Amino acid sequence: MDRLNTYTCILLVFLLLNSCREPYYPVTDSMDNVIVVDGLVTNEPGMSYIRLLYKQVTPFRDLVALRNATVYIEDDHDNIYPFSFTGIKYYPSPSFRGIEGRKYTLYIETEDGDVFRSDPQLMVPAAKLEEVYPYRTVKEFLYDDDYGNPVREMVRGTQVFADLSGKGDEVLRFRTETTLLLLYNFYHWRIPDIDVYYRWKKLDMTGEAGINIPRFDGNYGQVTGHTLCFMPASKMYYGLDPEEYIYRKILIIRYYTLNDEAYRFHREAHRQMTSENKLFDPVVSQLPTNITCITDRGRPAVGFFEASPVRSETHMLVDQSYDNIFNFIRIEDLEHVPPRGSMLNEKPDFWQD
């Protein structure tokens, strides 16, 4: 689930809880103009951004983009990096990249004179993806039917795991984002010729906890058996037509190495979004934030500013039953591939045979 959607759901519940008063002449604190911050600084050019929204009026769904703020970050070497608003986010210079070992602080200055500041965030050394491996299994899978209704059922497929290692003796904390690049074909018969359509689409597979919560309670720098995703075997779960055939399944894996504050935020966000209304489930007010208003301590802000190094790798599933081969092989980086497309009788340059 997108981080901004996480903030929205959690803050919505928070607002509802805070509006529960006597039915006559309720007295509630105004939650108008709450700043929602979704910020990320990485060590890769083009991947850092700041997204700002605020609740203008009731009801809460009226979230609007904060467009005219002055946004910049400062590192612990007194360097300042301005961000400019483009589209729906604020971006730094295209050449900007964070540096491991430095601390970064976010500043937001609004038109009405308020200044918001994050806590300094240390960019820790990046982890290393040691291995990606598949396992055939049957598990409960959630998908949308033809009418858009969520359905759960037991399906056959491939569970994908990964091993990661950190640097030194520091506790390894990370989160992952997994995208499936699905290569598939459609054949159109024109006797005596055949037209071959080479098609592809990208699907977000980060449906499970990207953060490895159960394994982060120990004091070690290696994590084995981290769950990346589950890939159903049948093409019906990928929205393909009966005449279309799956050719390759390719995973694009991003992994962010987290400092203690970022780990705590993602851990608590995941726990709250997966709670089942049990007695000791976490309450929404416990979600941490590292954003404060330094000009008006009473003005609330939610969200998180994160400084995490990121790495990306592309791995292709090789499934050849006749040779008893079932594994992943690392291939060239395919992050640049468009989200979807189709070519007639000509293979895209990234096609994998």
pLDDT digits (tens, 9 = 90+) for 38-55: 999 999 999 999 999 987
The pLDDT value given to residue 7: 55
Chain segment 160-199, per-residue pLDDT in tens = 999 999 987 778 999 999 999 999 999 998 878 899 999 9
Report whether 141 contacts 206 (CB < 8 A): no
Structural domain that includes position 85: 3-123+259-307
* pTM value surpassing 0.85: no
The pLDDT value given to residue 218: 56
Number of domains in the chain: 2
Distance CA 103, CA 118 (A): 11
The pLDDT value given to residue 2: 59
User: Is 351 part of a structural domain of the chain?
Assistant: no
Q: How confident is the model over 121-125, as a mean pLDDT?
A: 96
Helix (H, G, I), strand (E, B) or coil at 77: coil
More confident residue, 123 or 87: 123
Helix (H, G, I), strand (E, B) or coil at 258: coil
In the block, residue with structure tokens 């979704």: 38
Q: How confident is the model over 320-349, as a mean pLDDT?
A: 93
* Residue 275 and residue 317 share a domain: no
* Residue 317 and residue 269 share a domain: no
pLDDT above 90 (res 123): yes
Across the chain, mean pLDDT equals: 85
* Residue 321 and residue 289 share a domain: no
Distance CA 19, CA 22 (A): 9
- Whether the link from the prior residue into 348 is cis, omega within 30° of 0, is no
User: Is 235 part of a structural domain of the chain?
Assistant: yes
* Residue 116 and residue 240 share a domain: no
* Residue 107 and residue 44 share a domain: yes
* Residue 273 and residue 147 share a domain: no
User: Is 350 part of a structural domain of the chain?
Assistant: no
In the block, residue with structure tokens 């483009």: 86
Give φ, ψ of 150 to 5 degrees.
-70, 135
The token pair at 24 is 């006559």
* Residue 283 and residue 201 share a domain: no
The token pair at 316 is 């292709």
Distance CA 328, CA 318 (A): 6
* Residue 191 and residue 325 share a domain: yes
* Residue 176 and residue 316 share a domain: yes
* Residue 178 and residue 322 share a domain: yes
